[in-house]
């Protein structure tokens, strides 16, 4: 699939961790698959390498290990490297951007500026680009976090919006590019089987979990000023929630999809600060064991304040006040140093109203749909069936769609899909400003209450599923987290 006659992809933060692990490998995979125009160029911008030779040496040393799970084709890799140019530039010196303008002179096609930098640099970079005329007919990609709260997010959006039009701005959330999230849309809106069931009459509860085994690693300074609510809930989890709960769009164009997501975010039941302790659990990991290895407590991680009250775990009960979802609890959960690395959506259907077949048919979650986003992407539908043999004994069985087995050509990684969408001008999988504002507006009462509270986060041992209070919150609704997958 040839997606464009030409492009110039300018990567700010070209020697950063995100560029090394995600962006350059994704561009390589698109190149290897023949999805990039042969006229497309990649221009890395950084200040660590002295010249292009030094930068290519860095790419060879650091990026190779993250590309091609099936093995690296050296000839393809060398042709990919030929696409890469390098500009040594100090982002703190706006006058240096004339060097970038001169380097881009003569490069035809769409211009994409990807800001793989800290958010404090977003506005200075955009202003410097505008000062040399590079904002015209270009696209800008902003990584999260976009602000610390609603006010700072609006400040960044206002400043960037003075330089780039809204349809030039691509606020990236890589979970929206994952194959199962795309398949969730196909499942709901491409099949008559599920959509009639996707409502309060048939759905008892929905769980969305993003769990990590890793701690803060080398990001202690950043994370201690951010926390799980800002880092994961305000963006990833609420975006997934909006896709799960959205109404069918009239088409799959960018504004139709994002309009429906926005309606969900605006329909979230407002937070009453008096109820926060009932609908929100925050935790912080202590020392523990993960896969047989002892790991330290969060408070002892490098860059973390010893008496830090920053949360590394959040569980929330969310309600949507509209006709489709009124009364259905949505349970969101995310955390670091949990028992397993997993991201999944669990739709628990209501049990039958009366069972002549015994208790299993009345058990919550006996019928459920599990959409796993990572590590193994799949969709699994659970139901009950009779066990072989004498008597009417029921057992759980499932229908399984494992994408890596069903589609032999392999899956596209999230960043690869999203980068191709940027180059091709497709906005549907990127977050619009009004979506972002609605998400910040909803989480702010929780942020403010926790900041004002003297209560520390609830402790949990690393390698577990978080504080017991998170399980107790679901138990009040007669359900539990899905924590084991057969």
Q: Which sequence positions are flagged as catalytic?
A: 236
Q: 81 by DSSP, 3-state: which?
A: helix
Answer yes or no: are the C-beta atoms of 162 and 126 closer than 8 Å.
no
Contact 74, 32 (CB under 8 A): no
Q: Which H or E run includes 341?
A: none
Calpha distance 406→457 (Å, rounded): 43
Specify the DSSP class assigned to residue 456.
P
Taking alpha carbons only, the member of 401, 249, 264, 387 closest to residue 321 is 264
Kindly give the interhelix angle for 254-267 and 433-452, rounded to the nearest 10 degrees: 30
Q: Residue 6's CB: how many other CB atoms inside 10 A?
A: 15
Gyration radius of the chain over CA positions: 24
CA angle 457, 459, 460 (to 5 degrees): 135
Q: How far, in Å, CA of 404 to CA of 321, rounded? A: 37
CA angle 279, 285, 290 (to 5 degrees): 120
SS3 for 196-221 is HHCCCCCEEEEEEEEECCCCCCCCHH
DSSP bridge partners of 458: 283
Exposed/middle/buried for residue 232 (C-beta within 10 Å: 0-12, 13-18, 19+): buried
Phi, psi torsion values for 424, nearest 5 degrees: -90, 0
Rounded Cα distance, 309 and 342, in Å: 25
The DSSP output letter for 464 is B
Using CA atoms, how far residue 453 sits from 69, 166, 277, 448, 456, in Å, is: 47, 37, 11, 9, 8
User: CB neighbours (10 Å) of residue 28?
Assistant: 25
DSSP bridge partners of 7 = 110
């Amino acid at each position: 699939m040839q997606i464009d006659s030409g492009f110039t992809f300018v990567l700010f933060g070209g020697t950063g961790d995100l560029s090394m692990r995600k962006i350059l490998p994704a561009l390589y995979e698109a190149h290897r698959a023949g999805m990039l125009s042969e006229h497309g160029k990649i221009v890395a911008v950084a200040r660590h390498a002295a010249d292009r030779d030094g930068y290519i040496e860095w790419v060879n040393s650091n990026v190779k290990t993250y590309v091609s799970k099936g093995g690296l084709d050296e000839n393809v890799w060398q042709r990919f490297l030929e696409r890469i140019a390098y500009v040594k530039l100090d982002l703190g010196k706006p006058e240096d951007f004339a060097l970038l303008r001169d380097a881009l002179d003569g490069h035809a096609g769409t211009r994409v500026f990807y800001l793989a930098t800290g958010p404090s640099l977003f506005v200075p970079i955009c202003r410097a680009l505008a000062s040399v005329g590079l904002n015209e007919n270009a696209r800008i990609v902003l990584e999260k976090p976009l602000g610390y709260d609603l006010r700072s997010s609006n400040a960044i959006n206002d400043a960037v919006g003075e330089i780039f039009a809204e349809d030039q701005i691509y606020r990236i959330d890589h979970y929206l590019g994952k194959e199962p999230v795309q398949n969730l849309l196909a499942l709901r809106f491409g099949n008559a089987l599920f959509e009639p069931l996707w409502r309060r009459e048939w759905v008892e509860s929905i769980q969305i979990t993003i769990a990590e085994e890793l701690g803060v690693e080398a990001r202690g300074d950043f994370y201690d000023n951010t926390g799980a609510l800002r880092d994961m809930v305000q963006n990833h989890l609420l975006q997934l929630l909006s896709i799960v709960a959205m109404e069918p769009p009239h088409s799959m164009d960018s504004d139709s999809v994002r309009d429906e997501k926005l309606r969900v975010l605006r329909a979230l039941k407002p937070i009453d600060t008096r109820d926060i302790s009932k609908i929100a659990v925050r935790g912080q990991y202590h020392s523990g064991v993960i896969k047989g290895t002892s790991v330290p407590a969060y408070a002892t991680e490098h860059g973390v304040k010893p008496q830090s009250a920053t949360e590394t775990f959040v569980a929330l009960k969310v309600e949507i006040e509209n006709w489709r979802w009124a009364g259905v609890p949505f349970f969101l959960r995310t955390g670091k140093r949990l028992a397993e690395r997993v991201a999944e959506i669990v739709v628990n259907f209501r049990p039958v109203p009366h069972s002549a077949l015994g208790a299993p048919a009345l058990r919550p979650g006996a019928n459920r749909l599990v959409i796993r986003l990572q590590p193994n992407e799949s969709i699994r539908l659970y139901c009950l069936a009779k066990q072989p043999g004498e008597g009417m004994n029921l057992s759980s069985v499932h229908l399984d769609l494992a994408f890596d087995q069903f589609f032999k050509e392999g899956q596209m990684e999230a960043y690869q899909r999203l980068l191709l969408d940027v180059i091709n001008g497709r906005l549907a999988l990127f977050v619009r400003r009004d979506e972002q504002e609605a998400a910040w507006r909803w989480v702010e009462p929780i942020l403010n209450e926790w900041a004002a509270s003297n209560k520390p986060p609830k402790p949990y041992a690393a390698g577990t599923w978080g504080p017991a209070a998170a399980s107790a919150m679901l138990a009040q609704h007669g359900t539990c987290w899905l924590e084991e997958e057969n």
